[in-house]
Amino acid sequence: MEESQAASSKVKGGSYIVNLIDTKGKKAGEATLTQMADGVKVEVNATGLKPGEHGIHFHEKAICTPPDFKSAEAHFNPTEKKHGFLNPKGPHIGDMHNIKADESGVVQDEVLSNLVTLSEGKSNSLFAKSGTALVIHDKSDDYKTDPAGNSGDRVLCGVIKK
């Protein structure tokens, strides 16, 4: 297994670093996950994206196989809801608000997911079962279209597991 595919690693203060790889399997950045009182803060520092907004989701399998990352399977959705914050039957637990890349394709952004936890033993834990994956998409999420908000191809992926 490549280093970029290694499991997330715990860092000082209980945060976790998730290595993000691109569609060629090369490291393209990282995300830091930190448990907060009201959810998990996701700080993304990555390169190689097109400028603008990008959908970002937690997916149900801790597998990131390039080039399409379909190995991560569907969104993390233990409550079996529909996709999107604007969907009356949603959202998935793995849904998050879009992140934004600057004109040079660099993302330095953060989002808070109040639907997940880093605490083990809970159905909404990112470490439930065999872990999950963090996936960044090519386009922005419209927050309503099932199953992925019309957010396009999966362009970055990172494994979340202990």
Tens of pLDDT, residues 68-82: 999 999 999 999 999
Owning domain of residue 119: 3-160
Cα–Cα distances in angstroms (integers) from residue 3 to residues 31, 134, 141, 146, in the given order: 15, 16, 30, 33
Strand intervals (E) in 8-162: 9-10, 16-21, 27-36, 39-46, 52-54, 56-59, 99-101, 107-113, 132-137, 154-160
* Per-residue model confidence as pLDDT tens digits over 96-129: 999 999 999 999 999 999 999 999 889 999 998 8
Count how many domains the chain has.
1
Q: CATH number for the domain including 45?
A: 2.60.40.200
* Per-residue model confidence as pLDDT tens digits over 39-97: 999 999 999 999 999 999 999 999 999 999 999 999 999 999 999 899 999 899 999 99
Q: Report pTM.
A: 0.92
Distance CA 6, CA 99 (A): 24
pLDDT at position 1: 35
